[in-house]
């Protein structure tokens, strides 16, 4: 994927700390935030084979900023509607897969263009629905377009993945061709409601598959908007289908249905491992692209630039309210610099502005729902009961405009032993725990001591330490001395994003050079003339 210098300077990513024309960005968002209010409260259908379909019941989509805001009503799809969507995708597959790959690439690039042309509306709606800050929302939208465009570029770069092979004799022609599987289910999470829907959907489609897409039940509106972007670009009816509903109904049908040829799932380890075990009991295996979270460490060594390190940890621990699978939720600090690091980190964390994330100066918005608040409160209570110290944070906020939302303070926990469960359990809330280490070896051993292996970061001015970290850390995404995010901020074509161990199923990262091939299978072709 190519970008000119101007685009690279003005693009908002998760690593953006400052940007050119920031005032223009805020002005556009101010207008969009007001404009989208007129759309609130509508009823949205399922979209199956290009048709609007209504279910027997609906559910409310309310803003985590203020639950009195009804963003929309969505259909609670039952098994019958999901089966209809799968049938529509299956019927559309022969024609879609037969289209020349260059045509599919051109069409998916139009989807990326449509997303960019609606970036302000999509960002504003995301702020309301997911509770993310302005820059996080714009970054999510930009990443959505870039992911699709990057996968198009991969298809182009590899000439449609059609490779001429050698021959053993005259008149023999041999080739390897990657071909699509069929119908893919894309089941996306709430925390990146556009990027983690558009990316895998775009990858599946450009490879020649058709898709049944189910967004998270707390962020269905952004899912519907993705469907609109697909239709605006001209994706044919049935190629991309949109269903909403509960995981135990709509989601389970997608998992169980024999006509689903592959699944992309981003979510909990429990559900991901259930999918993997279920795959072993089927008549034949189908491809699974599963990302299951992380417990991501930052290592702060004695030579670290502590100003840079505390910025990086704070941004990764508390950006998007800690609701990133890549969030920095544990920190191992070399004892000689421990006191200075902790003081700086606490001071910076206390300055974080908490509130309505649609406001320009707010960094920390609400967590997604009441369940997340309860997880936060249980974790704080457990830490206190088991000998930990809350250095800052630890409270739910309910004053003033925060009274009707899910707001909590960014929290730093100290004083627990480094083998305590809070150093190994994924929480998905704005909490990070601190531990002391004496050596790099100890820090790496502790960092590797969990079942997860998604992201990890180190701050050190010693090149040998950094190389040792890269060589020994058990994580799919690694960073050294990254002020913009100790463990977060991967970008398509820049940092591939995939987990090891219990963090992922394939060992190939989203937004990387080996991702889109997972939506295809190899066929060897031999012709004798």
CATH number, domain with residue 362 = 3.40.309.10
The pLDDT value given to residue 175: 98
Distances (CA, A) of 232 to 74, 108, 165, 237: 21, 11, 40, 12
Which pLDDT value is given to residue 185?
99
Percent of the chain at pLDDT > 90 equals: 95
Same domain, 308 and 286: no
Whether residues 347 and 199 fall in one domain: no
Same domain, 93 and 193: yes
Is residue 374 assigned to a domain? yes
Residues 217 and 79 in one domain: yes
Q: How many CB atoms lie within 10 A of CB 83?
A: 17
Q: Does some domain include residue 55?
A: yes
pLDDT recorded at residue 12:
85
Do 313 and 286 fall within a single domain?
no
Mean pLDDT of 279-297: 95
Residue 321 lies in a domain: yes
Task: With cut-offs at 50, 70 and 90, classify the pLDDT of residue 18.
Answer: low
Does the pLDDT value for residue 87 go beyond 90? Answer: yes
Residue 343 has pLDDT above 60, yes or no: yes
Would you say residue 520 has pLDDT above 80? yes
Confidence at residue 8, expressed as pLDDT on a 0 to 100 scale: 40
Q: Is 498 within the bounds of a domain?
A: no
- Looking at per-residue pLDDT, the higher value among 22 and 469 belongs to 469
- pLDDT tens figures, 291-331: 999 999 999 999 999 999 999 999 999 999 999 999 999 99
Q: Is the pLDDT of residue 96 over 70?
A: yes
* 476 in the same domain as 370: yes
**Cα angle, residue 505 at apex, residues 502 and 510 outer, rounded to 5°:** 110
Residues 376 and 246 occupy one common structural domain: no
Nearest residue to 44 via CA among 283, 263, 223, 296: 223
Q: What is the pLDDT of residue 16?
A: 73
Say yes or no to pLDDT of 10 above 80: no
How many separate domains does the chain show? 2
**CB-based contacts of 18: which residues, under 8 Å, 6+ apart?**
none
Return the DSSP state at 379: H
Same domain, 255 and 175: yes
Is residue 345 predicted with pLDDT exceeding 70?
yes
Q: With contact defined as beta carbons under 8 Å apart, do 126 and 3 qualify?
A: no
Q: Residue 286 and residue 185: Cα distance in Å, rounded?
A: 12
Is 3 contained in some domain?
no
Residue 20 is predicted with a pLDDT of 65
Tell me: do 221 and 301 sit in the same domain.
no
Confidence of residue 1 (pLDDT cuts 50, 70, 90): very low
Q: Tell me how far apart the alpha carbons of residues 317 and 330 are, in angstroms, rounded to a whole number.
A: 8
- Residues 283 and 379 grouped into a single domain: no
pLDDT value of position 2? 37
Find residue 497's DSSP bridge partners: 510
Span 202-218, pLDDT tens digits:
999 999 999 999 999 99
**Active-site residues: which are they?**
291, 325
Check whether residue 223 and residue 344 sit in a common domain: no
Inform me whether the pLDDT recorded for 3 exceeds 50: no
Q: CA–CA separation, 311 vs 340, rounded Å?
A: 13
Half-sphere exposure of 129 (CA within 13 A, CB side): 34
Distance between CA atoms of 381 and 394, rounded to whole angstroms? 9
User: Which tens digit of pLDDT belongs to each residue from 126-181?
Assistant: 999 999 999 999 999 999 999 999 999 999 999 999 999 999 999 999 999 999 99
Q: Tokens 């590797």 map to which residue?
A: 448
- The residue range of the domain holding 110 is 9-292+506-528
Asked if pLDDT for residue 117 goes beyond 50, the answer is yes
Name the phi and psi angles at 55, rounded to 5.
-95, 180
What does the pLDDT average to over 432-451?
A: 98
Closest CA to 84 of 282, 264, 250: 250
Q: Say yes or no to pLDDT of 401 above 60.
A: yes
pLDDT of residue 387: 98
Q: How far apart are the first and last CA of the chain?
A: 39
Q: What is the CATH number of the domain that holds 136?
A: 3.40.605.10
Average pLDDT of every residue of the chain: 96
Per-residue confidence band for 19, with pLDDT thresholds at 50, 70 and 90: low
State whether 287 and 320 are in the same domain: no
Task: Report yes or no on 500 lying in a domain.
Answer: no
Whether residue 78 lies inside any domain: the answer is yes
Q: Is residue 232 part of a domain?
A: yes
């Amino acid at each position: 994927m190519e970008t000119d210098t101007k685009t690279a300077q003005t693009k908002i990513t998760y690593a953006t700390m400052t940007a050119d024309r920031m005032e223009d960005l805020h002005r556009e968002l101010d207008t969009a935030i007001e404009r989208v209010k007129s759309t609130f409260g509508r009823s949205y259908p399922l979209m199956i084979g290009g048709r609007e379909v209504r279910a027997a019941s609906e559910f409310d989509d309310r803003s985590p900023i203020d639950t009195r805001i009804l963003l929309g009503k969505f259909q609670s799809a039952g098994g019958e509607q999901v089966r209809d969507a799968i049938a529509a995708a299956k019927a559309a597959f022969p024609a879609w897969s037969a289209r020349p790959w260059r045509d599919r690439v051109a069409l998916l690039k139009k989807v990326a263009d449509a997303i960019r042309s609606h970036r302000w509306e999509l960002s504003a709606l995301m702020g309301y629905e997911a509770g993310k800050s302005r820059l996080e929302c714009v970054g999510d939208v930009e990443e959505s377009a870039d992911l699709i465009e990057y996968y198009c570029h991969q298809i182009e770069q590899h000439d449609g993945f059609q490779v001429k092979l050698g021959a053993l004799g005259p008149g023999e022609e041999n080739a390897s061709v990657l071909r699509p599987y069929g119908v893919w289910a894309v089941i996306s999470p709430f925390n990146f409601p556009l990027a983690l829907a558009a990316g895998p959907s775009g990858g599946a489609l450009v490879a020649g598959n058709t898709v049944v897409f189910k967004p998270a039940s707390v962020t269905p509106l952004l899912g519907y908007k993705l469907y609109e972007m697909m239709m605006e670009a001209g994706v044919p009816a049935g190629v991309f289908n949109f269903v909403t509903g509960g995981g135990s109904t709509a989601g389970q049908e997608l998992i169980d249905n024999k006509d689903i040829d592959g699944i992309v799932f981003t979510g909990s380890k429990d559900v991901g491992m259930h999918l993997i075990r279920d795959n072993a009991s089927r008549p034949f295996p189908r491809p699974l692209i599963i990302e299951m979270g992380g417990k991501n460490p930052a290592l702060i060594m004695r030579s670290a630039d502590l100003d840079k390190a505390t910025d990086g940890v704070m941004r990764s621990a508390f950006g998007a309210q800690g609701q990133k699978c890549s969030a920095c939720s544990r920190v191992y600090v070399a004892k000689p610099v421990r006191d200075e690091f902790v003081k700086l980190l606490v001071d910076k964390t206390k300055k974080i502005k908490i509130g309505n994330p649609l406001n320009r100066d707010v960094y920390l918005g609400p967590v997604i729902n009441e369940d997340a608040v309860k997880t936060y409160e249980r974790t704080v209570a457990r830490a206190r009961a088991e000998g930990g110290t809350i250095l800052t944070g630890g409270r739910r906020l309910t004053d003033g405009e925060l009274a009707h939302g899910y707001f909590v303070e960014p929290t730093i926990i100290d004083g627990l032993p480094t083998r305590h469960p809070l150093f190994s359990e994924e929480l998905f809330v704005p909490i990070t725990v601190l531990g002391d280490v004496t050596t790099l070896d100890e820090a790496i051993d502790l960092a590797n001591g969990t079942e997860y292996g998604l992201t990890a970061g180190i701050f050190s001015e010693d090149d040998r330490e950094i190389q040792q970290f890269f060589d020994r850390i058990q994580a799919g995404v690694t960073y050294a001395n990254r002020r913009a995010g100790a463990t977060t901020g991967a970008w398509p074509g820049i940092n591939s994003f995939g987990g090891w161990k219990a963090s992922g199923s394939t060992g190939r990262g989203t937004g990387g050079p080996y991702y889109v091939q997972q939506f295809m299978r190899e066929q060897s072709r031999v012709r004798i003339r």
